[in-house]
Structure 1
């Protein structure tokens, strides 16, 4: 917070000398504040050097009414604890914000001197407020989730189904939700929607059926649509199926699960989900979902998200929010690709930096295959635990080889969901084919998830300039069933982060929320440890395939400058460098040095976008 402005005290204060503070020394600028004090102003008074060499430091805790100036310096009291994530991974003592941008970074004395020089050159007088973090706190650039589903997250908070251990427990949660809402309880024609069930976590791993919903008297007879945790399966009630048109025997890129008599049981996988018709949410419902997601995102330090799938409704919503100036977080959107629609890449206008650089939509999201949990990931060889299938491609190789080069010729970034080794290989083939017409690396194509990779394909990431957009928390979720599903050899290519990096590729980190925890520190922890939150893994406390761990520096870059690169914004975002937007986060502990278990208890103190707090205080 600001230094006291009492003139008599200020006149008696001694300015730090170059010998005091020049250089990023790991020494305190002043004594450690008392426990419980996290924001401080200081004034420094010196007794006469002829009488005493003792410098008296007087602390004043800043009151909440103190106004944050448009220009201020934020410093860490115990040495250089601001991680800039610049090209040298530098650490500095202070950052300086002017309006919405960083204008300086370095030792306190240097930034004060340069600020005075700047004011003199502009012939203006503007005081530089100096504020301090708490003694254990650090500052990092604003954090980005590179693969998320914003409005879907907001929807999940209405009736979350994650964490149940059986079909019966899940149905009970649906029942309780219905009974808690009088309008829903009394109107049996209203749709009941929820998200998050995960049959792989149930004590008895099996697909649910609509009969399970009909067995409960409160739930029975209602239109119920429940999305799975990974977003690749819908569990619906009998009423929903009865209201659908006649179902086809097969769905390209999807599956309708049937019983032994060939009747649908109520579960639709991947592309078959598109057959389930639900009423569209109203604009006010979307606003409520968005507000919920943003509030939670700011609380965990997110200043930007890459939304992995704007369908027309979502795209229209975010465009309206940008036009009305209602985007409190940066959103990089991927336009959803509908394989049954006509090609549109040559006639749709891209959005770059709308709403004061809060919204960009210049990429396309294509689904190559399904998910590992639901057995839809496309593999070269059959599943170990289900030799009857190799999974399936949601988009045919022929169509991928057609549309990927076309979108890239028209200047679109192409981001492809690919889980299985076959799906990743097919997409890399398509990117390689596109090289005949365009510079692939200049358009920064991305493989979203890039989960299972053949050794030969790992090398192609670096040579083609393809970005691996990965989710470390998926690794520690899937590690418990992955080897049963893939076998002891093929599983070595699953979530092989180190192998991808060592082949020269750039990795960017996300969570896939609401599939996984939104907190980016959970992903940071998973990336560097490859163990569950309780310190366990199938390979012991050292981590699941520990040779694939990322370093802390790589993980931090994967949440800051690398997602900025992956969204063409590295000149404006991703590091604490003069000229960039002043997005940053204050953390309660130094995640770059504390023991890994303590990372998960680290708190976000303040989240700042364009120099102003959106969560917490400075």
Structure 2
């Protein structure tokens, strides 16, 4: 059998082993035909075979974004959204950016943005609606915090979304002013229920446009699979993606994770699984949120916060609820992905998966804990013992800007983002970005994973020993994300018979100085056997 394409290089990394080797990859139709030395691939060369030769540039599997938010990210990356406020250093500077954007877009009925963060404002107090009202009094303003778990609204937005401080369930997360009025800040449940859907989902008039643009951006960076964890957000829909999928226009495989539910039969989730079931758009698991974030003291900790000792946070729902959801999902063959920031949330999630393992045959079920920004060292070996994937985001360490040192103290910070410890204990580590919390550029994340540096290029945090090797980082960004979605049998490594998602970089990352890694460009992206991006 002759190949349609053969890619050759002195550096081929299959996703296995510790270093690349000289050789290449032969592709036939949409699958990998062979991988090996140049000599071994000569047998697959035919008169119509297209040959690509790349010198010392790295050939590797397509990148899998293990945790992101596709529709929300598409809106975020568009001209309809204000993301510049991530650069703001104070409430005043942020509001000035909002006013400038609003003045430049008088046709926008709402002003939508994300990126404000107390850690970037020298831990200033939470902002209020007053400053937004002064800047934009006549249109609703919805601003998600950088971590997406908190919203900042003006009075018009508060009125439009119907935030109710007296609601028995959601009211406690409507932050109040000293006079008892809503301050404009909504946390966790209140934010997600009242307002997040307005900020984090593109409307039907722009969804296809912005999602196509995002897909093209992912292709340029070698991302061929995107694990979407947006299903927990009100208003989430995949209509545009379904239309593009049916038209054969998707050039990224999108693994969907709808919100978990306690229904024993998993009726709605299985309906969605039947609806989205193609090689490029399919349901691969369910998503749940166990706690909040440490920046607003809603992350769930085993011991109280160092700078607010009256609280240790709390889970978003009783343990019994999560246990019912997870056992039901696992019984139907669906893995659960649980957002866990604090060490108590991580322990609770591990306990929940252990309970499910006792009553279900979870041999082929991929349960995953997302984020793991803090962990008790006793829980690290349990990832291997319980067959739980650690899905983490290396760029969140510099984003945090050492905030956790004040929140949880330097001793507990020894176990923040514990990449190295999880790998050394035999666990599986998958990498992503949580885009649009941070940019989806995988090469920037790889840099932070292998250096543990901050945005200034200097060491950050208190545990530089948690750095990983280049081979480990690339494996976390290729095979492990596919494993977490149960797709490692067809994707994630360069092996004969697997789907041909292959990329070529403009350098060999194994021979690149760390500081130059974020500058990496993709020369070629092959998706399902076809060239979908080629650098000019």
TM-score, normalized by length of structure 2? 0.92
The aligned counterpart of 1:523 is 445
Structure 1 residue ranges (4+ consecutive) displaced by more than 6 angstroms after TM superposition: none
Check whether the contact 1:97–1:611 (CA below 8 A) recurs between aligned residues. yes
How far 1:479 moved relative to its partner? 4.8
Q: 2:497 aligns with which of 579, 592, 603?
A: 579
Superposed CA deviations along residues 346-389 of structure 1, whole A, max 9, x for unmatched, are 45235389675111203110000001222210011111011122
Residue 242 (structure 1) aligns with: 159
The reply to whether residue 174 of structure 1 matches residue 98 of structure 2 is yes
Structure 2 partner of 1:332: 255
Q: Is the CA contact 1:95–1:106 (under 8 Å) kept in the aligned structure 2?
A: yes
Question: Using the alignment, how far apart are the partners of 2:518 and 2:460 within structure 1?
Answer: 20
> What does residue 47 of structure 1 align with?
none
Cα distance 1:526–1:369, how it changes in 2: closer, same or farther (>3 A)?
same
CA contact (8 A) 2:451 2:459 kept: no
Q: CA deviation at 1:319?
A: 3.2
Tell me how far 1:468 sits from its aligned partner.
0.3
Give the drift of 1:290: 0.6
Measure how far apart 1:199 and its partner are.
2.2
The separation in 2 between residues aligned to 1:87 and 1:353, in whole angstroms, is 38
Matching residue within 265, 278, 282 for 2:203:
282
1:345 counterpart residue number: 266
Distance 1:141 1:201 in 2: 36
Q: Which residue of 2 aligns with 1:141?
A: 61
1:463 equivalent to 2:392? Answer no
Displacement after TM superposition at 1:480 (Å): 1.8
Matches within 5 A, 1:461-540: 461-538=383-460
Does 2:376 match 1:454?
yes
Matched-pair contact (CA < 8 Å) for 2:447–2:514: yes
- Any stretches of 5+ residues in structure 1 without a counterpart? 1-68, 117-124, 185-189
Could you say which residue in structure 2 is the equivalent of 1:214? 133
Structure 2, unaligned runs of 5 or more:
none
Greater Rg over alpha carbons, structure: 1
Are the counterparts in 2 of residues 323 and 355 from structure 1 also a CA contact under 8 Å? no
Q: Which moved more, 1:232-241 or 1:273-282?
A: 273-282
* Structure 2 equivalent of residue 105 of structure 1: 35
Aligned to 2:511: 593
TM-score (norm 1): 0.80
3-state secondary structure, aligned to 1:436 = helix
Counterparts in 2 of 1:353 and 1:301: CA distance versus 1, 3 Å: farther
Partner Cα distance (1:615, 1:253) in 2: 49
Cα displacement string for residues 486-532 of structure 1 (whole angstroms, at most 9, x for unaligned residues): 11211112111111112221010001111112100111111111012
User: In 2, distance between residues paired with 1:109 and 1:435?
Assistant: 47
Task: Name the structure, 1 or 2, with higher relative contact order (CA <8 Å, separation 6+).
Answer: 2
Counterpart check, 1:91 vs 2:21 = yes
Task: Note the C-alpha offset of 1:474.
Answer: 0.8
Deviation at 1:440, TM superposition (A): 3.1
Counterpart of 2:229 in structure 1 is 308
Q: CA RMSD in A?
A: 2.4
How far does the alpha carbon of each residue in 1:84-122 deviate from its partner, in whole angstroms, 9 at most, with x for none?
12468662422111122111122222211x226xxxxxx
* Structure with more helix by fraction: 2
Partner of 2:140: 223
In structure 2, the residue corresponding to 1:387 is in which secondary structure?
coil
Distance 1:487 1:498 in 2: 20
8 Å Cα contact 1:441-1:466 kept in structure 2: no
Decide whether aligned partners of structure 1 residues 395 and 344 sit closer, same or farther in structure 2, where only a CA change above 3 A counts. farther
Change in CA separation of 1:586 and 1:562 when aligned onto 2, cut-off 3 Å = same
User: How many residues are paired up?
Assistant: 524
Q: Does the Cα contact within 8 Å between 2:229 and 2:287 map onto a contact in 1?
A: yes
Aligned equivalents of 2:123, 2:429: Cα separation in 1: 36
- Aligned: 1:376 with 2:298: yes
